[in-house]
């Protein structure tokens, strides 16, 4: 490992340890609302392991991204929510295969991204949820074709990302669902244009990620569903601005990452969903604090005494509006930034001292060099 990489590695480890010590201390002192942080991605595996005796919200902890099978199997007496464990991305096919006696929620296991056809076909006695299996990313057309006797759900097969237009076209006898085909990520505007006789569902097409702003603008005669367009990731403020009469869904728009603080600030009269904007769009909470709807309606978990802000023009009223999850995230950001600045300051002093000690231009440097020479010779 190079010197730079080693220094970076050591810095990250040291600062991460400081962060974990801070979290552990506040958990042990009861200053954190564990309901509010049980699904916080900044809570590491070690923090969880060191505090398994605490009153976590086990529903959230069971779906936490840092929960591993080792933690679960070593603590089977804990009130794990097997419904959430069953769909956890850290639960691999081998874990399921090697632990068939565990109380898996098989209808949820059916959605687990690590599930394979081999596990399914070798355990057909399990109560699989074929609706979910039908849209599973590991279920291909070949598997379906070779197992037509299984209770597949053709609505969900129609949405399966492994189902291409060629497959649909070459199998007209199958009971395809055109609503879900319309939302299938493999359906492009060219396919739609070339097949106008098909029973496309324009509501689903309106939220299809392949439908861009340009397509919508260039085809105003089409029966677009503006409520669904609100959820389309390609939507921009220009489309909304130019169509104020449309029935926009502001809940969907508020989750759109294309909407920045400036756009929201310029449109304070709109019924924004403030909580989602804060979480999805990184909107400053100072702005949210000025909106009484947010203050009155958002159910927050917070302990305002946990953190203070230096170098940021935030006041205590704003801090109160932070959820515990946001506080932890912000604390981690500030801690790493503070430690980085201090580290760089120390490093610059170190380089400066080395330069002086090794330079004959300075008295202290000449003395240091002379001392080294005397030691060597």
Q: What whole-number distance in Å separates Cα of residue 242 and Cα of residue 261?
A: 20
Site of tokens 């299984």: 150
- Model pLDDT, residue 371: 76
The predicted model gives 26-36 an average pLDDT of: 77
Site of tokens 């009484």: 292
Q: What whole-number distance in Å separates Cα of residue 136 and Cα of residue 47?
A: 33
Q: In the chain, pLDDT over 70 holds for what percent of residues?
A: 78
- List the structure tokens of 372: 């080294």
Q: What whole-number distance in Å separates Cα of residue 79 and Cα of residue 59?
A: 9
Q: How many CA atoms lie within 13 A of 144 on its CB side?
A: 24
- Render pLDDT for 165-221 as a digit per residue (tens, 0 to 9): 999 999 999 999 999 999 999 999 999 999 999 999 999 999 898 998 889 889 989
Q: What whole-number distance in Å separates Cα of residue 205 and Cα of residue 31?
A: 48
- Render pLDDT for 61-105 as a digit per residue (tens, 0 to 9): 999 999 999 999 999 999 999 999 998 999 998 999 899 999 999
Q: For residue 35, is pLDDT > 70?
A: yes
- Model pLDDT, residue 296: 31
Q: Is 372 helix (H, G, I), strand (E, B) or coil?
A: helix
Please report, in angstroms and rounded to a whole number, the separation of the first and last CA atoms in the chain.
34
Q: What whole-number distance in Å separates Cα of residue 272 and Cα of residue 28?
A: 37
Count Cβ neighbours within 10 Å for each residue of 54-72 and write b for 16 or more, e otherwise: eebbeebbbbbebbbbebb
- Render pLDDT for 264-292 as a digit per residue (tens, 0 to 9): 666 666 666 555 555 444 444 443 444 33
- Render pLDDT for 138-171 as a digit per residue (tens, 0 to 9): 999 999 999 999 999 999 999 999 999 999 999 9
- Model pLDDT, residue 248: 80
Q: What whole-number distance in Å separates Cα of residue 324 and Cα of residue 35?
A: 9
Looking at per-residue pLDDT, the higher value among 213 and 107 belongs to 107
- Model pLDDT, residue 275: 52
- Model pLDDT, residue 58: 92
- Model pLDDT, residue 323: 53
Q: Who's near 7: CB < 8 A, 6+ residues apart? A: none
C-beta separation of 324 from 346 below 8 A: no
- Render pLDDT for 325-353 as a digit per residue (tens, 0 to 9): 666 777 777 777 877 777 677 767 777 77
- Model pLDDT, residue 325: 61
Q: For residue 374, is pLDDT > 90?
A: no
- Model pLDDT, residue 267: 64
Residues in the chain: 377
Question: pTM surpassing 0.75?
Answer: no
The predicted model gives 245-249 an average pLDDT of: 79
- Model pLDDT, residue 128: 95
Q: For residue 376, is pLDDT > 70?
A: no
């Amino acid at each position: 490992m190079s010197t730079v990489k080693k220094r970076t590695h050591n810095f990250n480890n040291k600062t991460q340890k400081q962060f974990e010590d801070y979290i552990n201390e506040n958990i042990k002192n009861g200053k954190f609302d564990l309901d509010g942080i049980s699904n916080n991605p900044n809570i590491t595996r070690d923090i969880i392991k060191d505090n398994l005796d605490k009153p976590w919200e086990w529903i959230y902890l069971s779906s936490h991204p840092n929960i591993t099978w080792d933690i679960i199997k070593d603590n089977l007496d804990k009130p794990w929510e097997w419904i959430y464990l069953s769909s956890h991305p850290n639960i691999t096919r081998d874990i399921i295969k090697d632990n068939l006696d565990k109380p898996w929620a098989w209808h949820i296991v059916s959605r687990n991204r690590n599930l394979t056809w081999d596990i399914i076909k070798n355990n057909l006695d399990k109560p699989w949820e074929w609706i979910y299996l039908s849209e599973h990313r590991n279920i291909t057309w070949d598997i379906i074709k070779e197992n037509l006797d299984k209770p597949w759900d053709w609505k969900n097969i129609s949405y399966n990302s492994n189902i291409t237009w060629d497959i649909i076209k070459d199998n007209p006898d199958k009971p395809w669902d055109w609503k879900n085909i319309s939302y299938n990520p493999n359906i492009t505007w060219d396919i739609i244009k070339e097949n106008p006789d098909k029973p496309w569902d324009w509501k689903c097409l309106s939220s299809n990620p392949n439908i861009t702003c340009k397509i919508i603008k260039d085809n105003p005669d089409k029966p677009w569903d503006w409520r669904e367009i609100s959820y389309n990731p390609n939507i921009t403020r220009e489309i909304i601005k130019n169509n104020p009469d449309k029935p926009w869904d502001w809940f969907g728009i508020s989750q759109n990452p294309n909407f920045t603080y400036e756009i929201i600030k310029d449109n304070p009269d709109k019924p924004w969903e403030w909580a989602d904007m804060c979480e999805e769009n990184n909107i400053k909470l100072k702005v949210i604090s000025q909106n009484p709807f947010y203050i009155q309606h958002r159910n927050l978990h917070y302990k305002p005494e946990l953190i203070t802000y230096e170098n940021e023009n935030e006041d205590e009223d704003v801090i109160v509006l932070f959820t515990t999850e946001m506080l932890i995230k912000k604390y981690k950001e500030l801690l790493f930034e503070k430690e980085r600045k201090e580290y760089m300051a120390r490093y610059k002093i170190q380089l400066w001292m080395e330069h002086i000690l090794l330079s004959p231009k300075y008295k202290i440097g000449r003395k240091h060099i002379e001392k080294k020479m005397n030691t060597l010779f």
